[in-house]
Amino acid sequence: MDEAVRRFVRDGDVIVIEGFTHLICFAAAHEIIRQRRRDLTVCRLTPDLIYDQLIGAGCVRKLVFSWAGNPGAGPLYALRRAVEQGIPNSIELEEYSHYGMVARLTAGAAKLPFYPLRNYMGSDLPRVNPLIKTIACPFTGEELAAVPALNPDTAIIHAQRADENGNAQIWGLIGVQKEAAFASRNTIVVAEEIVSESVIRSDPNRTLIPGMIVSAVVHEPFGCHPSFAQGFYDRDNDFYVRWREISQNEELFNRYLEEWVYGLRDRGEYVQRMGAQIDRLKARANYCEPVNYGY
């Protein structure tokens, strides 16, 4: 992870760490904080705690997003401190709705310069974001909304399993990860398990991200905590609730970073420090019916 972040996340880069609630790679964000990256433009539908941490740690210059809350537990206070008070630095916001962000990444992945959608009429969002434009259909004359392609420098995608070439398989919620990876110049795949190519090949329809677009593969078990990995460990909902208190208080926030980020060398030490708490989150078995690929 150390090396992947060093090589593919540089000061000033545009990055996207995707995963909608599911498979959010906190291990990568912590490494970015540890390496004290600066002036990043960070893109995500839901900044979630992961970008709250990046923002509070001073890594971020600009946020491109569609919903900035702590899901089920209130606001993101580090983000609000930056926006409302410029602490630790003021950040620029570029704001869409979910569908707008999905459309931007889809256009980026398809190397289309824009994506059309039936949206935003009557909303104030286009008024505050000049990148939401309109386009007339050449067949019906209808006016549709259009958003520009988003092509980040680097995408970081956490997968349940990948082979050493980065062919990555994800199940459960798949969000917008495929589009984010194809849209980006580089993709870092982080995986709970590195498996042999034959496991990937046993179920090719599960492959969400092909190795050919992957720049680095990192093995990082438990790399999503406090987010979750279906089939591996549950979401740490208690931590999400506790984060409300931590992020609300600048001192508690900084102490959290000291203890859980700067004070640790890597995710391995994080897991060690978590200790027995991890067992509480481990997934029970609920296996799918296998299917036959023979002919």
Partner 1 sequence: MATDGPQFSPQELMVCQAARQLRDGEVVFVGIGLPNLACNLARRLYAPKLVLIYESGAVGADPQRLPISIGDPSLVTNSLGVFSMFDVFSFYLQGGLIDVGFLQGVQIDRFGNLNTTVIGDYQQPKVRLPGSGGACEIAILAKRVFVIAPQSKRSFPERVDFITSPGFIDGPDSRRRLGMPGGGPVMVITNLGCYEFSDGEMLLTSLHPGCTVEQVRENTGWDIRISPQLTTTELPTSEELRIIRGSHGLHGF
Residues 96-135 binding a copy of itself (CB under 8 A) are 111-114, 116-118, 131, 133-135
Q: Examine residue 295 and tell whether it contacts a copy of itself (CB under 8 A).
A: yes
Residues 224-253 contacting a copy of itself, CB under 8 A: 228, 230-235
Q: Examine residue 210 and tell whether it contacts a copy of itself (CB under 8 A).
A: no
Q: Examine residue 292 and tell whether it contacts a copy of itself (CB under 8 A).
A: yes
Q: In whole angstroms, how close is the CB of 171 to partner 1 at the nearest point?
A: 8
Q: Examine residue 160 and tell whether it contacts a copy of itself (CB under 8 A).
A: yes
Token duo for residue 140: 């019906």
8 Å CB contact between 70 and 48: yes
Cα separation values, 135 from 9, 12, 141, 268, Å: 35, 32, 9, 50
Q: In whole angstroms, how close is the CB of 210 to a copy of itself at the nearest point?
A: 15
| Cis preceding-peptide flag for 88 (omega within 30 of 0) | yes
Q: Helix 250-257 crosses helix 77-85 at what angle (to 10 degrees)?
A: 120
Q: In whole angstroms, how close is the CB of 2 to partner 1 at the nearest point?
A: 26
Given a copy of itself, partner 1, none, residue 151, with its beta carbon under 5 to 8 Å by kind, binds: none
Contacts (Cβ under 8 Å, ≥6 apart) of 16: 42, 43, 44, 105, 150, 152, 154, 155, 156, 180, 183, 184
Token duo for residue 83: 């926006």
- In the complex with partner 1, the residue whose CB is nearer, 178 or 267, is 178
8 Å CB contact between 150 and 176: no
Token duo for residue 222: 């438990």
Q: In whole angstroms, how close is the CB of 235 to a copy of itself at the nearest point?
A: 8
Q: Which of 142, 197, 245, 258 binds a copy of itself (CB under 8 A)?
A: 142
Instruction: Please report, as ranges, the residues that interact with a copy of itself according to CB under 8 A.
Output: 111-114, 116-118, 131, 133-135, 137-140, 142, 144, 146, 148, 160, 169, 171-172, 174, 199, 202-203, 205-206, 228, 230-235, 283-295
